[in-house]
Structure 1
Amino acid sequence: MRAKVSIVVPAYNNADYIEETMRSLLAQTYPELEIVVSDHSSTDGTWDRLQQYAGDPRVRLLQTAAGGGARANWNRVTEAATGEFVKLVCGDDLITPDSVERQVAAFEPGVVLVASSRDIIDANRRVVVRNRGIGRLTGRHPGSAAIRATVRAGTNVFGEPACVMMRRDSLAAAGNWAEGEQYLIDEATYVSVLMQGDFVGIREPLAAFRVNAGQWSVRLAGEQAHQAIRFHRRLETTTTGIVRRSDVALGNARARFNAVARRLVYAWLGRRMSKAAS
């Protein structure tokens, strides 16, 4: 029997994109699938647009009370999952039709997390950055090596949740989605899961992460870097023998460099989006 996979969707004010996201999930080639969606008290009609999927036996629609930030909805929808594997896809992101099938196939014994690279797209689904992520982590690696790699990179090499699939029991053992730094909820969770087993990286992009002008800002670039630096320092003290002082020094330097690079990208993207809107 094939293992059951839960795709969990924390939706919030995604009315413009939720139908496209749902179509990408329902188009999966992998048959043993449940799709659990929870709307976090949206005010833009997201819940109404989801009703068309209520009759599909693969889909469960839930609601999350207002408050608690992204983590409240991510945990709400994840705790409702029943599959052996869980994959979180935000309400405006996309995955390729073979995403689930290829990631399930990568779960050998001892593997707890599989990730692919992804394309970064704009509001109109045009590719902004192609085949981003994973770095040198293609194939199977010990979880400790993957943790060290993301610290040394100064950025989340595993990507957004749509790129990732985890064993549900490993995610539960990690306490589900992490508390703490707002912009590192995903990376901090992956690290906790990878403390329990191995990682597999798939080079091809199996997901598309959508960005908008509000997400890409100079202020955000600086805050992401500050949070990454704090996270790296915390890992040095809590992951004995895995993250070393030299890893933190390199990762923090790269996090600062990445912030400068992001500011340039954000300025370019803002001009591109303004031109497209005019």
Structure 2
Amino acid sequence: MSEHPTEPLVSVLIPTHNRPDYLEVALRSALAQRYANLEIVVSDNGDDDLTAQRIQPYLQAHPHIRYFRRQGMSATENWDKCMELSRGEYLNYLMDDDAFHPDKISRMMQCFQAHPDVGLVTSFRQLIDERGNPLPPVEGTERLFAQDTMVTGSSFGRYILALGSNLIGEPTTVLFRRADLRGPFGTFLDRRYTVLSDIATWLSILARWDAVYLVDPMSYFRIHFQQDQRDNSTRLRASLEWMTLFLDSHEHGLFSEEEPAFLDLLAAKLGGLSQYLTLHYPSIRGGSIPAQDIVDGMQRCFHALLHRQGAPSPLDSPPSGTSGTHVASKGRP
């Protein structure tokens, strides 16, 4: 970090858990940034001292690194601690197994400075294997444009919700302004998301701001065997969260499709979700998602699909003994 900064402070936030080898690679990529006014915040909820030992030489050599360790923090608490300890006007998470291109922050900050209507900057992300070798794109990670492009927030959000795919990228990929968050990371329309915390955040920003997409790979997303594996319950939770994002956006007039197009999309999404439930119900029964959450989510979808606009709804008045208030579950990034 420069001693006399003339540029806005950018905070690189690295939540880490039991990955000292990959963390060191990620940390070095943050230290290699050519943007001058930078701080790095590392929050560690690991089960041992290996990360603390590995990071000590970097803390002694680089005073702009801040390190916090508390064993037993949840993933969400670890993420939130990074943001709590940071001071930057701009924020970019860096997953402890990913890496930055050396020009990532400087290129993206140039976009913010050139386009005052922009709320986030993203890029093509290069997939890499456990040794850092490049991998071909998988569905949803292909390069979106042939050249650097500014995209309106409304059109980008509408396209993402229609496809049900995170075209913007994982947290490592995106630089955004702290002031544009509406609650903790993972919050959209006052509801905090568990599996789709990044998408919820991007949609919250896109509801008010435009985006820039850079075609060069400004980050590297690692695919390896140590990554969290999503079981059928987690995939189902993701599907239900996609539905909630889609319905909440429509009800609040954000990224809205015309009613016939909205209903067609909803019918297709509901059909896919129903098929998934039918195929995987043995492993979902007794899983981490309460059955009532699934029933409530499906009921809301069917009501939106079948209920005529302007007609009284049986869901507007909850049955006696039930509550009409939605309590959002605590999310984890």
> TM-score by structure 1 length?
0.81
Counterpart for residue 224 of structure 1: 238
Change (3 A) 1:252 1:53: farther
Residues 116/251 of structure 1: CA separation in 2 closer, same or farther (3 Å cut):
farther
Asked if the contact 1:8–1:89 (Cα under 8 Å) also holds between the matched residues in 2, the reply is yes
Pairwise CA distance, 1:225: 3.5
Please point out which of 43, 61, 67 is paired with 2:67.
61
Q: Distance in 2 between matches of 1:170 and 1:158?
A: 17
2:118 matched to 1:95?
no
Aligned-pair Cα RMSD in Å = 2.8
1:168 is matched with 178
Match of 1:243 among 246, 256, 270: 256
Aligned CA distance change for structure 1 residues 79 and 160 (closer, same or farther; 3 Å): same
CA distance in 2, matches of 1:252, 1:72: 36
- Once residues 19 and 228 of structure 2 are traced to their aligned partners in structure 1, the CA distance between those partners, rounded to angstroms, is 14
For 1:68-116, what per-residue CA distance to the aligned partner results, in whole angstroms no more than 9, with x for missing partners? 3x22211210122212211000111101001111110111212111111
Matched, 1:6 2:11: yes
Decide whether the 8 Å contact of 2:80 with 2:184 is kept in 1: no
User: Which string of whole-angstrom CA distances, capped at 9 and with x for unpartnered residues, describes residues 11-67 of structure 1?
Assistant: 111123111111111111111111111112443722221222112122111124524
The partner residue of 2:52 within 42, 47, 50 is 47
Deviation at 1:252, TM superposition (A): 7.9
> In the alignment, does 2:133 pair up with 1:126?
yes
**Inter-partner Cα distance in structure 2 for 1:161 and 1:218:** 21
Among candidates 104, 109, 125, match of residue 109 of structure 2: 104
Question: Which amino acid in structure 2 is aligned with residue 98 of structure 1?
Answer: D
Match among 45, 68, 77 for residue 72 of structure 1: 77
Relative to structure 2, which stretch is displaced further, 18-27 or 242-251? Answer: 242-251
C-alpha distance in 2, partners of 1:26/1:11? 16
Paired position in structure 2 for 1:146? 156
1:202–1:209 distance in 2 versus 1, CA, 3 Å: same
SS in 2 for 1:34: strand
Q: CA deviation at 1:231?
A: 2.7
For 1:229 and 1:34, the matched residues in 2 are separated by 37
Q: Which residue is equivalent to 2:91?
A: 86
Q: One-letter code of the match for 1:73?
A: N
Identify unmatched segments of 5+ residues in structure 1.
261-278
Q: Which amino acid aligns with 1:200?
A: V
After TM superposition, the structure 1 stretch with the greater mean CA deviation from structure 2, 115-124 or 90-99, is 115-124
Distance 1:77 1:248 in 2: 40
What SS is found at the alignment partner of 1:106?
Answer: helix
CA distance in 2, matches of 1:229, 1:208: 29
What does 1:172-211 align with in structure 2 at a 5 Å threshold? 173-178=182-187, 180-211=192-223
| SS of residue paired to 1:49 | helix
Equivalent position of 1:272 in the other structure: none
Q: Percent identity at matched positions?
A: 28
Distance 2:220 2:118 in 1: 24
Match of 1:268 in 2: none
Q: 2:207–2:254: 8 Å Cα contact kept in structure 1?
A: no
Deviation at 1:217, TM superposition (A): 5.4
Q: 3-state DSSP class of the match of 2:68?
A: strand
Residues of 1 paired with 2:263 and 2:197: CA distance?
19
- Alpha-carbon deviation of 1:230? 3.4
CA contact (8 A) 2:207 2:255 kept: no
- Work out which of the two has the higher radius of gyration on C-alpha atoms and give 1 or 2: 2
Mapped to 2, the partners of 1:44 and 1:252 lie a distance apart of 50
The one-letter code sitting in structure 1 at the alignment partner of 2:207 is M
Give the counterpart letter for 1:176 in structure 2. Answer: F
SS in 2 for 1:54: helix
**Matched residue type, 2:7:** R
2:13 is paired with a residue whose SS is strand
Deviation for aligned residue 1:123: 1.6
Distance 1:27 1:225, change over 3 A: same
| 8 A contact 1:154–1:253 mirrored in 2 | no
Output the CA distance in 1 between the equivalents of 2:123 and 2:129: 19
Residue identity matched to 1:58: H
8 Å Cα contact 1:134/1:159 also seen in 2: no
Structure 1 36/210 Cα, relative in aligned 2: closer, same or farther at 3 Å?
same
Distance in 2, matches of 1:252 and 1:125, equals 41
Letter matched to residue 201 of structure 2: T
Whichever residue aligns with residue 177 of structure 1, its letter is: G
- How far apart, CA to CA, are the structure 2 residues paired with 1:128 and 1:153? 23
